[in-house]
């Protein structure tokens, strides 16, 4: 007997998820023009008021390499301000439940986060990143993996001392843009390494769209078999081939309940050009065309989750409105389909009805709601021979 209940087929699939927003950090880092401080604050505020509870705010690395975030302290300070806290209170947003994160790839950035925390404007959570491909790791950090693990261990101790949580990122899980295919088993081991040195949670990252649904399901099943706490694991997917929604579903099947995305699917490798000037970034782009890459689109991800009937805590229409505004901010068509096509209207669209059906039914002597001729049986009866194979027999 076929099982039709989705949650019986995939018993680990969650009924509730947490979806974080990383637009004003990961989304904006790939843009080759400076996004104003006011815009970063606007979108950060508005996505929180729309339901976000985990916001990635900025990158605390050297602004010489990533000048997009030269305003990092100003943006962080805003979200610690009394004015923003009062706005949250007026909108019934529980400020104490918000988690503000910052990227800190190297120890100098962690030291900066610690100092900001002591000043009362620091992040609640910071991220450091290892790649299972040593070449990709070196390109991002300038260190060997062994050097970096020692550095990360020191940084976790520093963070613990001031009450900052460390998120350990594992990258190139499903493949590296430099070295190609990687082993999922290595990523599972790296996750254990992060927890062994004190990481609070883990971001499992596909940084170039290499993931496929089958391998995403396999990997996250391996992760939750070894470390069965869904709240400790976060799924981070890039979209380069229009297949990321299938990977989201596969992660849900495996039992993952934390995801993140960006408005419009913005994001990618840090820009190596800003306004009219080349900048360091992380070197040459890995992509054939840097205009057609990015992260999972927050708007489309949210609609997908919503239409699965999974609780998420967002005002979907408000997020779609924000996605529409983001296209004006960036100045081009972005990657969300949902901001144009909306959600599935469960009640239909009565405005598209054609006149005259009721009169035609009455004239034909049919009953309202009649779907087949009255003389036909209530239930269709299949003949012995039917369908392509049957008629060939």
Range of the domain at 245: 14-341
- Tokens 């076929």: give the residue: 2
Structure confidence at residue 286 (pLDDT): 82
Distance of alpha carbon 114 from alpha carbon 108, whole angstroms: 10
Indicate whether 185 pLDDT > 90. Answer: yes
pLDDT mean over 204-209: 90
pLDDT of residue 90: 97
pLDDT class for 194, splitting at 50, 70, 90? very high
Contact at 8 Å (CB) between 208 and 240? yes
Is 384 domain-assigned? no
Query: What confidence tens digit (pLDDT) does each residue in 240-256 have?
Result: 888 999 999 999 999 99
**Residue 355 belongs to some domain of the structure:** no
- The per-residue pLDDT for 345 is 85
Closest to 91 (Cα-Cα) out of 318, 320, 329: 318
Of all residues in the chain, what percent carry a pLDDT higher than 70?
100
pLDDT at 158: 98
Strand partners, 59: 103
Q: Calculate the average pLDDT of the chain.
A: 95
Q: How confident is residue 393, by pLDDT bands cut at 50, 70 and 90?
A: low
What is the mean pLDDT of the segment spanning 284-291? 83
The per-residue pLDDT for 380 is 95
pLDDT at residue 149 tops 80: yes
Look at residue 160 and tell me if it is in a domain.
yes
For 311-347, what is each residue's pLDDT tens digit?
999 999 999 999 999 999 999 999 999 999 988 888 8
Is 371 domain-assigned? no
> Is the per-residue pLDDT at 287 higher than 90?
no
In a domain, 352, yes or no: no
Domain membership flag for residue 378: no
pLDDT at position 344 is 87
pLDDT at 179 over 70: yes
Looking at the predicted structure, is the pLDDT value of residue 300 above 80? yes
Quote the pLDDT of residue 130.
Answer: 98
Contact 233, 256 (CB under 8 A): yes
Q: What is the mean pLDDT of residues 47-75?
A: 97
Percent above pLDDT 90 for the chain: 88
pLDDT of 288 > 90? The answer is no
pLDDT at residue 335, as a whole number: 94
Let me know if residue 376 belongs to a domain: no
Indicate whether 243 belongs to any domain: yes
**367: which DSSP letter?**
P
pTM above 0.85, yes or no: yes
Confidence of residue 198 (pLDDT cuts 50, 70, 90): very high
If one counts the domains in the chain, the total is 1
pLDDT confidence of residue 391: 75
pLDDT at 346: 85
Nearest to 129 by CA among 314, 270, 302: 270
Q: What's the mean pLDDT in 25-41?
A: 97
Nearest Cα residue to 204 out of 185, 218, 223: 223
Residue 141 above 70 pLDDT?
yes
The arithmetic mean of pLDDT across residues 119-135, rounded, is 97
CA distances from 373 to 65, 366, 381, 386 (A): 72, 8, 15, 21
Domain of 53, CATH number, reads 3.20.20.70
Of 269, 194, 267, 265, nearest in space to 234 by CA = 194
């Amino acid at each position: 007997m076929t099982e039709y209940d989705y949650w019986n087929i995939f018993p680990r699939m969650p009924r509730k998820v947490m979806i974080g927003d990383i637009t004003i950090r990961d989304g904006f880092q790939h843009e080759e023009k400076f996004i104003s401080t006011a815009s970063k604050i606007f979108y950060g505020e508005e996505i929180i008021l729309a339901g976000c509870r985990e916001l990635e705010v900025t990158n605390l690395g050297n602004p010489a390499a990533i000048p997009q975030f030269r305003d990092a302290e100003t943006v962080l300070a805003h979200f610690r301000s009394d004015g923003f806290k009062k706005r949250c209170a007026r909108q019934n947003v529980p400020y104490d439940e918000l988690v503000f994160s910052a990227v800190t790839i190297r120890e100098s950035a962690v030291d900066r986060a610690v100092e900001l925390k002591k000043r009362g404007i620091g992040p609640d959570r910071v991220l450091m990143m290892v790649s299972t491909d040593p070449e990709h790791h070196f390109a991002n950090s300038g260190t060997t993996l062994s050097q970096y693990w020692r550095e990360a261990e020191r940084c976790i101790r520093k963070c613990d001392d001031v009450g900052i949580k460390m998120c350990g990122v594992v990258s190139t899980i499903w493949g590296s843009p430099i070295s190609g295919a990687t082993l999922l088993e290595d990523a599972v081991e790296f996750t254990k390494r992060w927890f062994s040195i004190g990481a609070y949670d883990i971001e499992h990252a596909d940084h170039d769209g290499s993931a496929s649904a089958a391998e995403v399901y396999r990997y996250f099943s391996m992760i939750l078999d070894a470390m069965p706490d869904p709240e400790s694991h976060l799924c981070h997917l890039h979209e380069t081939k229009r297949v990321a929604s299938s990977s989201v579903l596969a992660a849900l099947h495996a039992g993952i309940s934390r995801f993140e995305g960006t408005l419009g699917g913005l994001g990618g490798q840090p820009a190596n050009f800003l306004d009219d000037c080349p900048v360091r970034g992380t070197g040459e782009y890995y992509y054939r065309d840097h205009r057609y890459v990015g992260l999972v689109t927050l708007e489309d991800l949210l609609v997908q989750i919503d239409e699965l009937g999974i609780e998420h805590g967002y005002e979907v229409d408000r997020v779609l409105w924000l996605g529409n505004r983001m296209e004006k901010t960036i100045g081009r068509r972005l990657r969300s389909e949902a901001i144009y096509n909306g959600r599935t209207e469960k009640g239909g669209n009565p405005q598209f009805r054609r006149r005259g059906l009721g009169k035609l039914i009455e004239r034909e002597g049919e009953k309202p709601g009649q779907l087949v001729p009255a003389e036909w049986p209530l239930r269709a009866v299949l003949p012995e021979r039917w369908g392509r194979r049957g008629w060939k027999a």
